[in-house]
Amino acid sequence: MKRGKKDRTGAAAAFRRAGILGAAVLGACALAGGCKGAEEAAKDSIRIGISLYRGDDTFINNIRQELEKCAKAYEQDTGIKVHLDIEEAKGNQYTQNNQVERFIALDCDVLCINPVDRTAASAVIDKAMAGNVPVVFFNRQPVEEDMNRWDELYYVAVSAKESAVLQGQIVVDSYREEPSLLDADGDGVISYALLEGESSHQDSLIRTEWSIQTLKDAGVPIERITGGIANWERSQASALMEQWLVQYPDMIELVICNNDDMALGAIDAMERAGVSGIQVVGIDGTTPGLQAVESGRMMGTVSSDKEAYAQAIFTIAADKALGRNVAEDIALEDGKYYNCPQKIVKYIKNSYKNE
């Protein structure tokens, strides 16, 4: 989609949608022609090094696509050329560390890092500090101690607790509207299975805890049948669900999933086994996740605003590359954290039938 000069406010509009209001919200993309400082005027191109923990993660790929759109829009708006060097670390921290070294050798102005091992961000930080290259981490949160090592470190994500509370709310609302949808056998209790992401990921633990807590707080009667770790992956979730359908026949009424890909994996297994009537909830609002909700195969998901997410990463990166004051363009918590907005997406017709 082409974005002409008249559309310069697109980024700011995205931030307004994101709930960050007023003057604090002029995204870097929206700052067309606004770079008046001598240092800024001198720069006609910026180089951003991006490393993704894996290239085959659906949600991360959605963010990558939005980042590429941001860069294009920014070039059109400002005339400043944006070089995005995007690498995939294939789940290997050592590979990612080498990518960081290469980015610095290539003279990248700023790095955007989706860490493989969030507890091992110190190696990335060491290299960035030595090369004096600011870092915007995203999605996999470095420990606070690491984040506090340098004032040129930022972190963009969605709040795991908020995702979980909203996910719990989908179930609470559906149960209140139509209890039989979730309590299919009518025994007064929702029997659920849980699919969790990587055990080392901050989102897995927090999402699991708060999703269940939200149901308990609302007084929804629940009983855990089983659960397992599927590492965010559709195929792993599908294999687990296939096993559970055999192990717990006619017992599972709801599958609570830490993300959409695992929810889709559970649905794949149900479809293969010809099982219907089990409700499934996810988190992310990925493209296939939203399609599954729209078609009624998934009861609901919590969709993060990917445009605002990528815009936040890009705004910080572009500001850093141009020597601008980030605080003028985006409201950050503690001067370094940004949480992207998210919302509930729910299947409207309360009659999920997988037939």
Under rule CB under 6 A, residue 59 binds ligand GAL: yes
Q: Which is nearer to ligand GAL, 8 or 201 (CB)?
A: 201
State the nearest-atom distance from the C-beta of 206 to ligand GAL, in Å: 10
**343 pairs with which residues across the strands?**
303
Helix, strand, or coil (residue 297): coil
Under rule CB under 6 A, residue 233 binds ligand GAL: no
Q: Which is nearer to ligand GAL, 13 or 344 (CB)?
A: 344
Under rule CB under 6 A, residue 338 binds ligand GAL: no
Which tokens belong to 304? 């993060």
Q: Which is nearer to ligand GAL, 195 or 254 (CB)?
A: 195
Applying CB under 6 A, among 109, 284, 307, 319 the residue interacting with ligand GAL is: 284
Applying CB under 6 A, among 229, 266, 283, 317 the residue interacting with ligand GAL is: 283
Applying CB under 6 A, among 8, 64, 69, 140 the residue interacting with ligand GAL is: 140
**C-alpha span between 21 and 184 (Å, rounded):** 44
Q: Which of 12, 204, 50 is nearest to 137 (CA)?
A: 50
Which tokens belong to 208? 């699991």
Interface stretch with ligand GAL, choices 53-61, 169-177, 188-196, 338-346 (CB under 6 A)? 53-61
Helix, strand, or coil (residue 202): helix
What is the DSSP-derived secondary structure letter of residue 341? -
Going from the C-alpha of 85 to that of each of 11, 64, 67, 109, the distances in angstroms are: 22, 11, 12, 11
- Angle between helix axes 10-17 and 306-321 (nearest 10 degrees) is 120
Q: Which is nearer to ligand GAL, 81 or 90 (CB)?
A: 90
Interface stretch with ligand GAL, choices 98-106, 144-152, 196-204, 294-302 (CB under 6 A)? 196-204
State the nearest-atom distance from the C-beta of 63 to ligand GAL, in Å: 8
Under rule CB under 6 A, residue 278 binds ligand GAL: no
Q: Which is nearer to ligand GAL, 297 or 324 (CB)?
A: 297
**C-alpha span between 139 and 136 (Å, rounded):** 10
Under rule CB under 6 A, residue 203 binds ligand GAL: yes
Q: Which is nearer to ligand GAL, 146 or 203 (CB)?
A: 203
**C-alpha span between 124 and 98 (Å, rounded):** 9
Q: Are 3 and 73 in contact (CB under 8 A)?
A: yes
User: For the chain, what is the radius of gyration of the CA atoms?
Assistant: 22
Binding region for ligand GAL (CB under 6 A): 57, 59-60, 139-140, 197, 201, 203, 232, 259, 261, 283-284
